[in-house]
Structure 1
Amino acid sequence: MYKVLIVDDERIIREGIGNSIDWDNYGFSLCGMAENGIDAYETIIRDVPDVVITDIKMPGMDGLELISKVNAEYPQIIFIILSGYGEFEFANKAMKYGVKYYLLKPCDENEIIMILIEIESEKKDEEKKDRFLKDINDNLKKVLPQVGEQFLRDFIMGVNYSKLELEYFLRLFDIKETKFKLIVFKMDNAVNESDVIDKFALKNIAYDILDQSTVYLSTILDNNILLLIKSMDLAILTDLLTQIKDAFNKYFKNDICVGVSNENSFDSINKMYLEVQECLKCEFYLGDNKIITEKVIEFNKSRDNLNDSTYNEIIAVSVKTGNIESLNLQLDSFFHMIYEGKLEIEMAKNYCIEIFLIILRQGDGKEVRGYTKGLYEIQDKSTLKQISVYIKEIANEIAKKNYDNNTENYGSIISTVINCVDNNIQNYELSLTWIAKTVLFINENYLGKLFYKHTNEKFSRYVVRLRMEKAKELIKSKKDYKIYEITEQIGLGDNTQYFSQVFKKYTGYTPSEYRKL
């Protein structure tokens, strides 16, 4: 059983989630509920749950602070964020802590259940992979030149060796050259240790093509395979690296990008590594499967030449109305703008995440939940092209569904608005904005135009008419309602003066005159 903690400052939400799910049925147990981050943190220290379902905005310690604090101490705990409409900034920050489950309020228990099922599956896969990797690592230790790998890794990370130690290791690895080059193979999509086989396959292919006498040391660092080789002519080396890429791509799906340092001495390995890392950043705009021998792009730190809202509304309308031709045209233009701007990678990804969220908001609420993990996917992509393909694919899916459903859904949307008004006529917050954001999750202006098109009446006028008709009924009833009682029941709070003005304009009489009639 995996333990779950629910954190929300609204009791109705906490208890609603806690009581609506049969936790045992999905392999989970509810270990507690907390109304703020402080209480939640105390429970986490005591019980160490596997999953925490938390709101973002809470008094005391908010959800983001809780995630940051817990992530530092218990990185294995999985967070599911519950958030209100439009909290992109919070969601984006949460992504940096590895949070990939993000639900927009209101959500039902089925959305949470689907995530729980996915988490349980991931947990079991991780446990299976851990067992598998342990067996693999036990065997690899017997055959890998561990000393050489660690020696190169130490130099990459800037560890200092004494002169005597350095001379000893150079003799140990039979290194007699004085000039070297560092090659870094960056594997795209190699996001977890289950791709360890691909990494070792690439390493073996590189050794075969470059020849054992050319490669002195090698190691694997994150998603990178590093080879320290003796210096050679760049044209010859480029041809050999192309052969390595072609051989690897023939049998494996992972794309690779190759960076090559300038020639340098052994004690400058760390400098060579940093140099190659700068080269590899260019992959974001150049595209994957490239050999990069120098930094050919200077990244732009300024956003001044970009207008944040240039494409947002047009793309949103294109998705909502299912205009796929316009959508693709605008998305191509948007990504071209990012490409031409050559923004720093993190800034460019933030732009892409922002447009992705705008696209998601145009889809059906339940279906959109399945796409929200795309926020994590975008952060993980290596190139702008990969991001554009991913976003365009999902945008087209949502737009096509909207196109297919628009004709029948227009009437359904208006019916929902009318029912919402009928059921919330006493609600002081009732407005087009409130319905658009909390009920239908669509653009307010779009909803207003759609309502007028189907009813030939502005929404505000419609609500006033219903409220005044209800007021007339209350005045004519046998109960002798006070004016303030009437205003409360029709959603105008204690604004009796405003009610009297509107009522007279609507009926031609003041409330007291109407009562006498």
Structure 2
Amino acid sequence: MMYHTMIVDDEPLMRTYLTQSIPAFSTLFDVSAAAKDGLEAVELLKEIPVDVVITDIKMPEMDGLSLAKHIHENYPGITVIIISGFSDFEYAQKAIRYNVKDYLLKPLVDKTLIDLLDTLAARFERERGTARFRMTGTGAKRDPLRHRLLCAFLEEDTERAYHLYRELRKEGHSFMGPFACIAKFQCLYSASSSSLALHMLLDGACPQFGWIILCEKDGSVCLLADACSEMDLETELGRLYRTLLRESAKDLFVSIDCRCGKIVTDPFQLSASYNSLEETLPLPLAKAQGPFFHSHISQYRHALDRIEKYRDQLAYDLLGNAQEHWYADLKSLCLAFGVPLTGDRLWRCASYILAALPAGDAYTEEGRQRSLEDLAVQCKNAVRPFTPDEFAEALLAWLRLLFGQTALDGGLSPVILQAKEYIARNYQSNISLSDVAEHCSVSSSYLSDLFHKQLSISYLKYITALRMEQAAKLLKSHPDMRVFEVATQTGFLSDKHFISVFKKYYGVSPAMYQKSQASHRET
């Protein structure tokens, strides 16, 4: 299997290096096209099929982030790699929202490129292991042609879709009504037995509508739903969802999610409806009850933007192993929901976080399975909504299991890990070394010694650095926030003391820093 690559970079030397090096470093990759900017790449993508696009982040006309967005929306099967300099890396991380999970930092070295190609090849081989969709159940036996046609549409196999569509029309059958969408049903805390039971429930309920169902590899069930109007379609899907909830409560003892993609009028747009399901993933975190339609996104846009922002920040800190920020990131994320923090929502939040992480690279399959099994027990046993602190702590414990203790703690002692977590939760207060030591059940002198030995920094310098980083974030993201408010929110009792510490740390006053960040945004 040969994987085709496109290079997008405004520097001729970089284009030449990548074009020559990629096929030399791996027999599985070739370079099918090269472009000098994003606009040229957009035109080439219309003519040349590729599997991978490696793009610089900074280019004239259309930059790498805009190109990643275009590819995410129009060619979801293409893997995008971002090249950035160290100073641009934080900006490049915004591409996480466009499913970009791999980055190359300048200056490039051969080993980094070789490692990336090996990682991509292994990932692609895993993904090729089994087909995305499976036709099962009595519906597929009764109407195999329509099921095969739906598979072709969703897999964007245009040639096969045209052939099957003509065959269906010859037999005098229609494929779908005037309005249609792809709906995805999924068991929360899913086990294989629950997924099988869900499929059986849908297989029995859908014939009355004439709707087609397909199973996915992850155990979820995709449904082609259609009706004579958009209102009828949403009404019928809502009725089906409520029926499934009643039945699953009796038989499965788990909850079911139903997310619905964009409503379309052309069968060749069904893949777009399916791909738009990814945009509905955070909806169950902002909207209290399902089903969750793509059309609801505009109604909950403000909450969804905040949720996405905090999830992206968390993913950035997870991939960067910035453990001291994880608890604060999780707390900010759950406070953005605006709905009760139930066990179901805890599971959905973990799934949403997982969607932002590179599967197989950041964690092992064993770690994923073990951590989700542990989380499922917590979710099922929740008899009341979690407090924000409980919710964040449960997710933090899940992340520990997901990444594995060794990968997570970097060799740090449990006492230091506990101290860092406590500081991350309470740095806004005027906490002292003795407060942290008391929380960790050790003496102040012992904890102070651990900070020096394991972190090579004193407690005071550690908490000051954390407060300064958080203060800088507040000044950058809130141009109208007063300096004394920033001081209060970062654990300083006196704004004068805060100003003095900030100026010593960054070399400028908080007000000047805030002003410079505002000017930078305007330019």
Question: TM-score with structure 1 length normalisation?
Answer: 0.41
Question: TM-score with structure 2 length normalisation?
Answer: 0.41
| Structure number with bigger Rg | 1
